[in-house]
Amino acid sequence: MNVTKIRKDFPVLNREVNGRPLVYFDNAATSQTPTQVINTIVDYYENYNANIHRGVHALSQEATDAYEGARQKIQKHFNAAHPYEVIFTSGTTHAINIISSGYAELLKEGDELIVSALEHHSNIVPWQMLCQKTGALLKVIPMNEDGVLIMDAYDELLSDRTKLVFVNHVSNALGTVNPIEEIINKAHAVGAEVLIDGAQASPHIKADVQALNVDYYVTSAHKICGPTGIGVLYGKEAALNRLPPYQGGGEMIAEVTFEKTTYADLPHKFEAGTPNIAGGIAFGAALDYVNAIGMENIAKYEAELLTYATLALKQIPGLKVYGVAPEKTAVISFNVEGIHPYDIGSILDKLGIAVRTGHHCAQPIMDFYKIPGTVRASFSFYNTFQEIDAMVDAVKKAVQMLQ
Amino acid sequence: METINAAQEEIVEEFSLFDDWMQRYEYMIELGKSLPLIDPQYKTDDNIIKGCQSKVWVHADLEDKKLVFTADSDAIITKGIIAILIRVFSNQHPDAILDADTSFIDKIGLKEHLSPTRANGLVSMIKQLKMYAIAFKTQLN
Residue A127 host element (H or E)? helix A125-134
ipTM: 0.85
Pairs of residues, one from chain A and one from chain B, whose beta carbons lie less than 8 Å apart: 42
∠B130-B78-A22 over CA atoms, to 5°? Answer: 125
Give residue B51's pLDDT: 65
Q: Which fold has domain B4-140?
A: Sufe protein. Chain: A (3.90.1010)
Please report how many Cα atoms fall inside a 13 Å half-sphere around the Cα of residue B35, on the Cβ side: 31
∠B42-B44-B45 over CA atoms, to 5°? Answer: 150
Q: How large is the average pLDDT for residues A239-264? A: 81
Does pLDDT of B119 surpass 60? no
Q: How large is the average pLDDT for residues A349-367? A: 89
Percentage of residues in chain B having pLDDT higher than 70: 91
Residue A196 host element (H or E)? strand A193-197
Give residue B118's pLDDT: 57
Number of other residues whose CB lies within 10 A of the CB of residue A82: 11
- Tell me the one-letter amino acid at B60: A
Q: From residue A121, how far is each of A57, A224, A323, B55 by CA, in Å?
A: 44, 20, 18, 21
CA distance linking residue B27 with residue B108, whole number of Å: 11
pLDDT digits (tens, 9 = 90+) for B12-42: 999 989 888 889 899 999 999 999 999 999 9
CA distance linking residue A113 with residue A293, whole number of Å: 39
User: Would you list the domain boundaries of chain A?
Assistant: 3-30+295-402, 38-292
Does pLDDT of B112 surpass 70? no
Contact B49, B123 (CB under 8 A): no
Give residue B111's pLDDT: 67
Q: Which fold has domain A38-292?
A: Aspartate Aminotransferase; domain 2 (3.40.640)
Does pLDDT of B116 surpass 70? no
> DSSP label at B15?
H
**Pairing mode, if any, of strands A319-322 and A331-336?**
antiparallel
CA distance linking residue B121 with residue B131, whole number of Å: 15
Percentage of residues in chain A having pLDDT higher than 70: 100
Q: Is A340 on the interface with B (CB under 8 A)?
A: yes
Give residue A298's pLDDT: 98
Q: How large is the average pLDDT for residues B84-111? A: 88
Does pLDDT of B94 surpass 60? yes
Q: Is A347 on the interface with B (CB under 8 A)?
A: yes
Give residue A214's pLDDT: 98
Q: From residue A371, how far is each of A37, A184, A349, A395, B58 by CA, in Å?
A: 39, 31, 22, 19, 21
CA distance linking residue A71 with residue A64, whole number of Å: 11
Q: Do A402 and B26 touch (CB under 8 A)?
A: no
Percentage of residues in chain A having pLDDT higher than 90: 84
pLDDT band of residue A53 (cuts 50, 70, 90) is confident
Q: Write the residue in B25, B29, B119 that is nearest to A358 by C-beta.
A: B119
Give residue A222's pLDDT: 98
Contact B97, B68 (CB under 8 A): no
> DSSP label at B47?
G
Mean pLDDT across chain A: 94
Q: φ, ψ for residue A100 (rounded to 5)?
A: -65, -40
Q: Give the burial class of A192: count Cβ atoms within 10 A of its Cβ; 0-12 exposed, 13-18 middle, 19 or more buried.
A: buried
Q: For domain A3-30+295-402, which CATH number applies: 3.90.70.10, 3.40.1160.10, 3.10.20.440, 3.90.1150.10?
A: 3.90.1150.10
A131 is catalytic: no
pLDDT band of residue A403 (cuts 50, 70, 90) is confident
**CA B35 centroid distance within chain:** 10
User: Would you list the domain boundaries of chain B?
Assistant: 4-140
Name the minimum distance, in Å, from the CA of A225 to any CA of chain B: 25
Give residue A54's pLDDT: 77
Q: From residue A227, how far is each of A65, A172, A281, A380, A381 by CA, in Å?
A: 19, 19, 10, 16, 17
Q: Do B74 and A347 touch (CB under 8 A)?
A: no
Of A361, A371, A396, A397, catalytic:
A361
